[in-house]
Structure 1
């Protein structure tokens, strides 16, 4: 039987199935990237809820696995060379799971790097900027008298949506005909922008018809529908 007892995180979240990938997460746009990926690939995994309500992400056990105290994180008992591998950062996890499964990442070198570039576009642009817009539109930032920060983020989100919309013209998915980790990285954030942040009107989302078209295709996938609810709150 696989022994994960040397990893402190397993003291707080014991593994019932230690031979499976252990996922530590919450159903946020970053968290669901990994649950969707695991559902799409069929890799066996066990899920553990990291509750922000009880600040689980700040506990020593979680930080022992995720140095940046952010979800999601995974512990793969069957990592490279058959040794356990702990990973945080959703983009890194997507790339790792794609390579482990041989799925959802182009096999040719050029296509692989192009897909990774769009994952990085999401990690460095869409995620941080959409998140800042959410803060200034829905959360405490909405009470700031100075509206320049919100205006700045609205303008940048519109610019990013324009980049994405232009990329999707004539394409079924970001990489063309084939669904990939680039889509899994990106569209949970688009969905969150419109739904959870209620910012569709603010950013004139109807001006980006290609983005809306592909978002509809994304949420219609059965694995996406399942992954969006994992882990259950």
Structure 2
């Protein structure tokens, strides 16, 4: 059993998508970041950076005590290693998955997160910041669009954690993007969204955030 400490954000979605795709038994523990629940002492014990998602695996591969993992990229790699799935089918394939996962963690997520902040949530509009991060979003969309030319998924024919990591961050309407400029990205985004496990993960996320 895996405990998933989660809220339906792009980083949270990544892990729920993996769990649904792999069919791993899990239970969701909502962490309402709008209410500041990520700062609770019990959560900080497993996620010292006070960010979700985080997991606790009660049945680790080594048979030892439960293990906690924070940071979404680390969680994806941990789960890929645990299950032997979605991590790249060969040593070279694994390297390709790693570099695109790191690209998402170091660029796509942080830059698009700044886009969200300055265009949607900042208490005052800062034109320079909005222009900067919308343009950087456009650049990153272009990088991914070029990578997807002639490929079904981010690293080739195999669906991997690189796809799971990138997909939830592609929110063109919220990020000031015209998907007509990125045909390979648009095609890939639709293919991944149509996967039953991905659709289930997003629907479960909506239920978690729905008013009780």
Q: TM-score range by the shorter chain?
A: over 0.9
After the TM superposition, which residues 53-202 of structure 1 pair with which residues of structure 2 at under 5 Å, given as runs? 53-83=34-64, 84-140=66-122, 143-144=124-125, 146-190=126-170, 193-195=171-173, 197=174, 199=175, 202=176
Which residue of 21, 28, 40 maps to 1:40?
21
Q: Shift in Å at residue 230 of structure 1?
A: 3.2
- CA positional deviation for 1:206: 1.8
Written as runs of structure 1 = structure 2, the 5 A alignment for 1:20-35 is 20-35=1-16
> How many corresponding residue pairs?
206
CA contact (8 A) 1:26 1:230 kept: no
Q: TM-score with structure 1 length normalisation?
A: 0.85
Post-superposition shift, 1:134?
1.1
Give the TM-score normalised by structure 2: 0.93
Q: Which runs of 5+ in 2 are unaligned?
A: none
Larger radius of gyration: 1
Give, in angstroms, the shift of residue 194 of structure 1.
2.3
Tell me which moved more, 154-163 or 181-190. Answer: 154-163
Task: List structure 1 runs of 4+ shifted beyond 6 angstroms.
Answer: none
Q: Report if aligned partners of 2:15, 2:72 keep a CA contact under 8 Å in 1.
A: yes
Q: After superposition, what is the alpha-carbon deviation per residue over 1:141-165, rounded to whole angstroms, capped at 9, x for unaligned? A: 6x32x41111111111111111100
RMSD: 1.3
